[in-house]
Amino acid sequence: MRIRKNVRYLPKPSFSPKVPARVRLDRNENPFDLPPGLKKELMGELSKIPLNRYPPAYPKELEEKIAEFHGLEPENVMVANGSDELIGLILKVFDGDHILISSPTFGMYGFFATLEGIETVDVPLEEDFRLGDIEAFSENARVIFICSPNNPTGNVQPRKRIIEVLETGVPVVLDEAYAEFAGESNTDLVKDYDNLIVLRTFSKAFGLAGARIGYAVASEETMDYLRRVLPPFSVSSLSLRAAEFMLGHTDYVNHVIRYIIDERERLYREFKEYAYPSRANFLLMRLDAHDFLLERGIAVLKLSGRLEGHIRVTVGKKEENDALIENLKEFIEKEEKLGVGD
C-alpha cells in the first residue's frame, strides 16, 4: 500500500487511557450537563426523530436559528460536525502554500495543515500573548489562524489588531470557541470583511461537546465556496435537534456562563501570583502541578514547550474548584518548603 507522506508523518493518535480522576478539569468542557427537567424535555423531542431517515442534507433550520441569534442572515452561517471539522474544510477551499499560526495555540490548525500537505508557519505570540507581526509572513498564506480567546493562554486579541490582519486580504479564521465567556465577539466583522471566517461551537458555553456541533460565520460570498466542500448529511439529526433546543433555552445557558465566569474569577483571585487573566472557561497557571493533582484525583492539562511547567485548568463546578484550590495550595506550600523556584 502506498501511504501518502503527510499521513505517514502524522503522529499516531494517543487516546489517553481513561484518567481515573474524580475531577475532570482537562478538556475545557462545560461542567454542567442539562438539569434533569430540561434533559427530559430534550429526550422527549429526540425520541420523535425517525432514525431510519437521513437528517436534512444541509441543516437550514438550525442555520436560520443561529443566524437570528447573531443578527445575521442564514446565508452567513454553516453548521458542521464540531468546529474541528470546519478547520479541515476551510483549508480545502483556499489556495496558498502555508498556514500561519501563533503559538502557543490550539493544535488542530497544524494537524489539518499537515493533512492537506501544507506547511505550518508559526509566528509565536509576544511575551504578553499579543499577536506578533504575522502580516510579515502573509504572502501566499492559505489561511491565518487567530484564536481569541486563545487556547491555552485565555487572552483575547484586540478587535483593532484583528482588523489590521484582515486588511492583508488573506483568509483569516478567527476561532471564537470561547467567545461566550469573553462577552465580546467579532462575528459582525463578516459584514465588512469577505476574507473573515469566524468559528463558533456548541461544545463549550452551550454544553454540547458530546453532540459535536460547530459552525462558521462568514460573508455570503465566502460561504458559497465553503458550502461546496461540506459533505451532505454530515451532522446527525439528534445533534441538530439538541443544538436547536439549546438556542431555545438561552436564559439557562446565560446563567451557566455567568456561573463559570464568577468561578473563573474566584480561581484567578486565589492564584493571582501564578495565574494569567482569562476571558475563557479555563486558566493558564505557572504551576508544575499536573502529576501532583492527578495523584489526588484531579485531571488538568500539562503544557509543554514554551509553556513547560504550566498547567491549563478548566473551570469546573464550585465543589470541583474547591477541591482544586485546596490541593493547589497544598502543592504551593510543599514547593515553597522545598525552595523550588528560589
Residues lying near ligand PMP in the complex (CB under 6 A) are found at 28, 82-84, 106, 147, 151, 175, 177, 201, 203, 209, 214
| Plot region of 188 (φ>0 → left; ψ -120 to 50 → alpha; else → beta) | alpha
Q: How far is the CB of 50 from ligand PMP (least distance, A)?
A: 26
In whole angstroms, the minimum distance from the beta carbon of 268 to ligand PMP comes to 19
State the residue for C-alpha cell 465566502.
Answer: 222
By C-beta, is 314 or 327 nearer to ligand PMP?
314
Which of 184/295 has CB closer to ligand PMP?
A: 184
* CB proximity list for 336: less than 8 A, separation 6 or greater: none
Instruction: Give the side-chain half-sphere CA count within 13 A for 27.
Output: 14
* For ligand PMP, the closer CB: 152 or 296: 152
269 to 19, 22, 264: CA distances (angstroms):
28, 24, 9
Cβ closest to ligand PMP, residue 151 vs residue 186? 151
Smallest distance, Å, CB 302 to ligand PMP? 16
Residues forming a β-bridge with 145: 173
From the list 293, 329, 335, 319, the residue with the least C-alpha distance to 26 is 293
Nearest approach in angstroms of CB 155 to ligand PMP is 13
Q: Tell me the CA distances in angstroms from 322 to 23, 48, 233, 262, 305, one per residue in order.
A: 11, 41, 43, 13, 29
**Least separation, in Å, of the C-beta of 316 and ligand PMP?**
16
Nearer to ligand PMP, 209 or 307 (CB): 209
Provide the terminal-to-terminal Cα distance of the chain, rounded to the nearest Å.
56
Q: What is the secondary structure of 193-226 as a DSSP string?
A: -TTEEEEEESSSTT--GGG--EEEEE-HHHHHHH
In the bound complex, which residue of the shown chain has the CB atom lying closest to ligand PMP? 82
Which C-beta is closer to ligand PMP: that of 207 or that of 292? 207
Q: Rank residues 76 and 203 by Cβ distance to ligand PMP and give the closer one.
A: 203
Q: What is the DSSP letter of 71?
A: T
From the CB of 292, what's the least distance to ligand PMP, in Å? Answer: 24
Shortest approach of ligand PMP to residue 90 CB, angstroms? 12
